[in-house]
Amino acid sequence: MIKYIKIDKDSRVPKYQQIIDSIIHNISIGNLTMDKKIPSINMFSEEFYLSRDTVEKAYSILKERNIITSIRGKGYYISRTKLISKVNILFLVNKLSSYKMRTYNHFINAIGANSHTDLHIYHCDETLFLNLLDKNKSAYDYYVIMPHFKTDDSTHISFTENVVKAINKIPKEKLVLLDNIKKNLDIENCIEVFQDFENDIYSALNEGLSKIKKYKKIMLIYPDKAIYPYPRRILHGFRKFCVEHKLDFEVLNEIYDDMILKTGDLFITIEESDLVNLVKQVREDEYILGHEIGIISYNDTPLKELLGITVMSTDFKIMAETAADMILHKKRGKVKVPFNFIERESL
C-alpha cells in the first residue's frame, strides 16, 4: 500500500488530512479493497517521516467514519469501500410514499455528485429507527431525518422520548431535521427545514374560503389508525378553520364503500386510496365534480394535477433543495417551507 500513498511536504494541507485523502482516493480507484491490510501507525510514520501523532489522528478519523477498522493483535484493515466521497449522508425516511421519494430524489439532485447518500426506511417504527442510528453512529458526515413515529395504539407522534435521546447524541453540526420538527426540542446549531402542519392547513383553507363556502358540509378523511399515521396537527388546523367560519364539518376515518354522497359535500382526503375510492364513487353516482361534489387532496402529485384535483401541499422540491444547500454551504438554522393551495377543477 505504501507505494500508493502520496504526501506533499510542501502542501498547506495538514499531513493527517493528506493521509485521509490519499487512502480515500486509492479506495475510490480500486487500489485499496475491502479487508486489505494497511500499515501500522509506527510503520506509516517511519516510512513518511511523520510524527506518530499525525498518523494516529488520520487513522482515528478514518476509523470514526468506518473506512478502516482495527483488529487487536493483527492491525488495521479497510472496512468500507462505499463511503469514499467528501460528503457522506444517512437519509432516514419514515415511509416509501410518492412525495417522500420525490423529496429524496430532489435532495440527491441538489446535493450533487460530490457526495454519497444512503437511504433507509424505518416505517415509523421507533425500534427500527434507533437500531439504524446505533448501527451507523459516527459513520456519516450528516444525518438527514424525517421524524414521524407511531405509538402502540397506532397514532402519530413526532418524537418519542427514546428518539429525542438518540438524536441528542448526534453532533448538532451533523443533524438535519426535515419535514417535521419538535418545537420544544432543545436543539441548536442544526439544520431544520420543516412544514407547520396545523397552521399550514389552516392558512391554505382560508385561501380557498370563497370556493369552500359554496359547499354545505366539509368532510375531512383523517385515517385515525393508518399503518403510517399522520400528524394530528392537520386535524387541529382543520377544526380551527371550520369553527372559526361556522362551517358544518365532520371527521371520518376513511372513504367507505357505498358512501352516501349528497350534493353540496366537500371532501378533504389525505391518503391516496381514499382519493381514488372517492373519485370512483363520484363518477359512479354521476355527480359533477367541482360543482355538486368538491374534493381537496393533501400533498400534490403529478397524477392529481393530471386529474384536476385541487390540493394543499408543501413544496417538497424547495424542502429538499433548501436542506441540500444548507449542507453544501455549512449553514445552520430553521427554515419554514412554503405551503400552497392549488385550485383546480375539483373545487
Burial 22-47 (b: 16+ CB within 10 A, else e): bbbebbeeeebeeebebbebeebbee
Does the pLDDT of residue 118 top 70, yes or no? yes
pLDDT in tens, 156-171: 999 999 999 999 889 8
Does the pLDDT of residue 187 top 80, yes or no? no
Looking at residue 99, what is its pLDDT? 87
Sorting pLDDT into bands at 50, 70 and 90, what band is 179? very high
**Average pLDDT of the segment spanning 5-21:** 88
Largest Cα span, the chain: 85
Q: Which long-range contacts (CB under 8 A, 24 or more apart) does 110-113 make?
A: 110/320, 110/321, 110/324, 110/325, 111/87, 111/324, 111/327, 111/328, 112/324, 112/328
Looking at residue 136, what is its pLDDT? 83
For 141, residues 6+ apart whose C-beta sits below 8 A from its C-beta are 87, 88, 89, 174
Does the pLDDT of residue 311 top 60, yes or no? yes
Sorting pLDDT into bands at 50, 70 and 90, what band is 207? very high
* 29 DSSP β-pair partners: none
DSSP helix/strand/coil, 139: coil
Place of cell 377544526: 239
Place of cell 381514499: 274
Chain region(s) in the chain for CATH 1.10.10.10: 2-78
Does the pLDDT of residue 184 top 80, yes or no? no
pTM (2 d.p.) = 0.75
Q: How far is CA 70 from CA 47, 78, 79, 137, 141, in A?
A: 20, 9, 9, 17, 21
Q: Name the least confident of 1-5, 38-42, 238-242, 315-319.
A: 1-5
Phi and psi at residue 325, to the nearest 5°: -65, -40
Does the pLDDT of residue 71 top 60, yes or no? yes
Please, where are the H alpha helices in 86-143? 98-111, 126-135
**What percent of the chain has a predicted confidence (pLDDT) above 90?**
66
Looking at residue 126, what is its pLDDT? 95
Does the pLDDT of residue 85 top 60, yes or no? no
For 223, how many CA atoms within 13 A lie in the half-sphere containing its CB? 18
Distance CA 129, CA 251 (A): 31
Place of cell 482515528: 60
CATH number of 198-314: 3.40.50.2300
DSSP helix/strand/coil, 155: coil
Distance CA 264, CA 308 (A): 19
Residue 142 CA to its chain's centroid (Å): 12
pLDDT in tens, 270-297: 999 999 999 999 999 999 999 999 999 9
* 121 DSSP β-pair partners: 93
3-state DSSP percent of the chain in helix, strand and coil, to 5:
40, 20, 40
For 117, how many CA atoms within 13 A lie in the half-sphere containing its CB? 20
Does the pLDDT of residue 298 top 90, yes or no? yes
Chain region(s) in the chain for CATH 3.40.50.2300: 87-195+316-337, 198-314
Distance CA 226, CA 52 (A): 57
Looking at residue 197, what is its pLDDT? 96
E-only strand ranges, the chain = 37-38, 68-71, 75-78, 87-93, 115-121, 142-145, 149-150, 156-157, 175-179, 191-194, 217-221, 249-252, 265-269, 293-298, 310-314, 333-336, 339-342
Does the pLDDT of residue 56 top 90, yes or no? yes
Residue type, 292: E
- CATH top class, domain 87-195+316-337: alpha beta
Asked if the 2-78 domain carries CATH number 3.20.20.120, the reply is no
Mean pLDDT over each residue of the chain, to the nearest integer: 91
Does the pLDDT of residue 181 top 60, yes or no? yes
Higher pLDDT, 134 or 269: 269
Does the pLDDT of residue 83 top 70, yes or no? no
Q: What is the DSSP letter of 3?
A: G
Does the pLDDT of residue 1 top 90, yes or no? no
**Average pLDDT of the segment spanning 63-85:** 79
Q: Which three cell numbers stand for residue 40?
A: 501500522
Distance CA 274, CA 47 (A): 68
Burial of 210 (0-12, 13-18, 19+ CB in 10 A): exposed
Distance CA 194, CA 29 (A): 38
Looking at residue 30, what is its pLDDT? 80
Higher pLDDT, 207 or 79: 207
